Amino acid sequence: MSVIGFQQYMEQLKQLGADLDDSAQRVLSQMNAKAMAETIKQTPVGKYPKGSGKVGGTLRKGWINGGTHKVGNGHESKYHNSVYYSLYVNNGHRIVSKKGETTGWVDGIRMLEYGQNSAQESAQSIFNKEIQRVKKKGGW
């Protein structure tokens, strides 16, 4: 969804007499939930041999919803992962030998990008549902 599309959406809501702050909060919360769900789905889970005592899934369980908040004239919605190595899994990292030499590179999974793309793809339908909700509430 482009900025122009978002402005058209806001104009439609203004014409319907909607509370723009409430609508923006609702839309961003839904987009945040969609992005976080897809990000969690794309987050890899470690596989360990039986009897090793290790359990995978720490990275996947580490996602935390930061919520949606009004910031200045706009709104902000975010989520993050509290596991220290999540950045390396997402973006990739170098492989270092015992001597400290770089011996290779591991590509990142890009799970955050999958989540962002998922939210952008669903933005139009989320906006349309909000417009329908406002119309129904206003008796249109």
What is the model's pLDDT at position 2? 55
- Give the pLDDT confidence of 19-28 residue by residue, as tens digits: 778 888 899 9
What CA–CA distance (Å, rounded) separates 113 from 109? Answer: 9
pLDDT at 16 over 90: no
Residue 3: pLDDT over 60: no
Residue ranges covered by each domain of the chain? 3-64+75-138
Instruction: Find out whether 13 and 131 touch, Cβ atoms under 8 Å.
Output: yes
Q: Which two tokens stand for residue 112?
A: 């955050």
Calpha distance 107→89 (Å, rounded): 8
**Contact partners, residue 120, CB within 8 Å, separation at least 6:** 1
Q: What is the per-residue pLDDT across 24-50, written as a single tens digit (0 to 9) for each?
A: 889 999 999 999 999 999 999 998 898
Which among 21, 115, 113 is positioned nearest to 69, based on CA atoms?
A: 21
Residue that wins the pLDDT comparison between 97 and 10: 97
